[in-house]
A and B are shown apart, each in its own frame.
Chain A
Amino acid sequence: MQRNNFLLFSAALAAACLFSLAAGPAGWSNADIILNLRLPRTLAALAVGAGLGLAGALFQGVLKNPLSDPYILGTSSGATAAAVFCFLAGIERTSPVFFLAVFAGAFGATFLSYWLARLAGRLSDAALVLAGVAVSAFLSALVMLTLTSSGARSFSLFYFVLGGLYSVQPGVLLVSALLIAGAAALAMARWRALDAMALGSENAYHLGISPERERVLFFALACASTSAAVAIGGTIGFVGLMTPHIVRRFTGPSARGLVPAAALGGAAMLAAADAAGRSLFSPAEIPAGVVMALAGAPFFMWLLWKSSRGRN
């Protein structure tokens, strides 16, 4: 990442953090509330945002598809479905089984979308999005069916599915943050492979990179990062879609700058969105997932419009 860009992203991140720490009905003079309430929540928003931004950048790079992100591809839905089944089975959010199950759900759903899109032969943007939508819709329906028929605790689980950061368990935050940091470090170390993948499978192969192996690896990293984010905040969409597009304008297409910038940008974006959600309609709170969908869905439409114009 260039020095100027690094400063820019740091400034954006710092501004989002300040907003998140200062926004709220108690104002900004109550040190107790800032330290004990807003700080943990800001950290959670940063971790989730970074995880989703990272996953978005990895998916978009490895699939060469500007419309992909963990929400569109079904990764988040897979993770959410697995998490909901874990809650109903009584598996604690801090247990390793929970993280493994959520990861398996995310990875399974992503591969299913990918496999479905490839059935048509050449992997097209539209096929991938369609396959992702189909997988997401099916998994969401499964979750809704489970919640409707289970009855117990279903309201708080609906809230989880909606996505938000109302109550964050410190243990979950710690484990998830470590997972996301690990995935980010591994992805950054392999930026060359990601850049080679962007040139197409054949070119990557000639550059001495095995596209099949790298694809599985980057999928795994993106899924680990997504599932860690879902474990904290449920299904929050569009962070992974928007941030890579925004930061790419500053960093250029190389994964070397793009991947860390997407993580930082995602962190800043979600911290700001969450702070807005909990302070704008006080005393009521709007879940961060809803704020992101409000901002992100029009962005997605704009991307579709842009990509359709690019083709003509």
Chain B
Amino acid sequence: MKHKKHIAAYLPPVPLLLFILLAAAPLKAEAKRVVSLMPSYTEIIFGLGAGKDLVGVSNFCNWPPETAKLEKTGDYMRPNLEKVYSLKPDTVFAGAWADASSSKQLSSMGIKVVSLPEEKSAAGIFATVRLIAAELGRKREGEKLVRKLTALMPVKLPEKPLKVYLEADTGGWTAGGESFLSDAVRLAGGRNIFAEEKRGYFQAAWEEVLLLDPEAVILLSGTEEEFLARPMAKGLAAARAGRIITGLDRDAFSRPGPRLFTEIKKLGGLLGVPDAKK
């Protein structure tokens, strides 16, 4: 009897242990199947070391080079739902840009859609990194990535930042205070001349740009020559100081992803902000 009781005392932990093992097994054996509908999410996922989990990305996802081999699911506003479904993902990361009805349709097909809010600042980008990391079970990698990106930002910003006009696309398309690009300019030691505008992207009237007289101009498309050919462009403080910046990586700077921070550092150098760490 004594002996029998002895075994029984050990019985309950065995099924518990088995249960834990069984529950944990699929996590280990079967990798996640993830679809990213935004280039920035794709870059974040690779930054978290989870690139292997990706089974599909948007047509715009072209970084890192490994994305070339991944299945493409169309653009991020209207993803090709059948294509997404056929990839049998267990998680789809959709951005604020995505059409709400396509998210709903994917959910109704039994696919988990994680809709992330639009990033309006560097802090917003960190929030996205943390959300994606949590979703992929890589919280530690998420914190590591945030620390790495934070380290790229200048510690001390200039007291009198340069006035910056950022042209994302020719024809005066620029970013207002609601865009992360405004924050990127601030973190690089500049000040977006349209930072007070309560909107994301808009077409600025050229006359307004002339009036605000930026001390630096960032062109993400078009050439310096084309820019200076505009009426009175040569008289801008930026043109006189030779601060028409065309050397930023367009994709990297216009996506709220990890590469933006390298570009911020580069822009800081171009704007003449002293490296605070020296």
Contacts and interface: CB of A to CB of B under 8 A. Distances in A.
Contacts of A296: none
B204 A37 contact: no
B210 interface: yes
Contacts of B235: 32
Please report whether the interface of chain B is mostly helix, strand, loop or mixed according to DSSP. Answer: loop
Given A40-B231, A156-B170, 15 more contacts: A33-B232, A37-B231, A153-B221, A155-B170, A155-B171, A156-B169, A159-B173, A159-B203, A166-B206, A278-B207, A282-B205, A283-B204, A283-B205, A284-B199, A284-B204
6 contacts: A32-B232, A41-B231, A156-B222, A166-B172, A283-B194, A287-B203
A224 B106 CA distance: 50
B275 interface: no
Contacts of A164: 171
Interface in B152-183: 169-173
A283 B221 contact: no
A278 B170 contact: no
Interface residues of A, number: 25
A285 B172 contact: yes
A13 to B, nearest CB: 22
A24 interface: yes
B197 interface: yes
Interface in A125-165: 153, 155-156, 159, 164
B256 to A, nearest CB: 18
A25 interface: yes
Contacts of A156: 169-171, 221-222
Interface of B: 169-173, 194, 197, 199, 202-208, 210-211, 221-222, 229-232, 235
B211 A166 contact: no
Nearest to A41: B231
B206 A26 contact: no
Contacts of B172: 166, 285
Contact of B210 (A37, A167, A282, A287): A37
Interface of A: 24-26, 32-33, 36-38, 40-41, 153, 155-156, 159, 164, 166-167, 169, 278-279, 282-285, 287
A153 B222 CA distance: 9
B203 A36 contact: no
Nearest to B171: A159
Given A26-B210, A156-B170, A36 B205 contact: no
**Counting chain B CB atoms within 10 Å of each CB, which of A33, A38, A164, A167 scores highest?**
A167
A87 B16 CA distance: 69
Nearest to A278: B205
A1 to B, nearest CB: 34
B207 A25 contact: yes
Given A32-B232, A36-B232, A156-B169, A284 B202 contact: yes
A32 B235 CA distance: 11
B208 to A, nearest CB: 4
B211 to A, nearest CB: 5
Given A36-B231, A36-B232, A156-B170, A285 B204 contact: yes
**Counting chain B CB atoms within 10 Å of each CB, which of A36, A153, A166, A282 scores highest?**
A166
A33 B236 CA distance: 12
